[in-house]
Amino acid sequence: MQHTVGISQYKTASARGDVLVTYSLGSCIGLSLYDPEAGVGGLVHCMLPLSKLDPEKAKAAPGMFVDTGVSALLRAMYDQGAAQRRIVAKAAGAASLLDENGVFRIGERNHTVLRKMLWKNNILIAAEDVGGSGARTMYLHIDSGRTVVRSGGREWDL
């Protein structure tokens, strides 16, 4: 069964036939986490890097921000039996859409905060498809941990 992870949301799944999907990863960043032993996976779609921009929104929707979204997804994964040492992390997005002059660099900042958050949790990114100027769709297949990215009519595994 396919479950959509909307912008500023995160979800976990553990049923073998489940697929988590998030659409329209432009400057937003998507992170898939998977524990192959526990069979638990999760996906978050973060818009902005740091929750200090709006702490109230971060409380209401932790997935909106990379710092709170990654923390919330990790907690949810651990609550379902995942172990930090087994987690495989993959990222997509962080494009430079509508920012040709590089003024805001939201995508780049999202990617930087994501790397810092995972590093603090002793998790390395196993694969990523970030930057550029195209929007992406990201899928996480719970039965295998396979993460697929689709963009511009093409599809590939991370």
Catalytic machinery residues? 28
* Bridging pattern class, strands 19-25 and 2-4: parallel
Q: Determine which helix (DSSP H) or strand (DSSP E) holds 154, and give its type and residue range.
A: strand 154-157
Q: Are 35 and 73 in contact (CB under 8 A)?
A: no
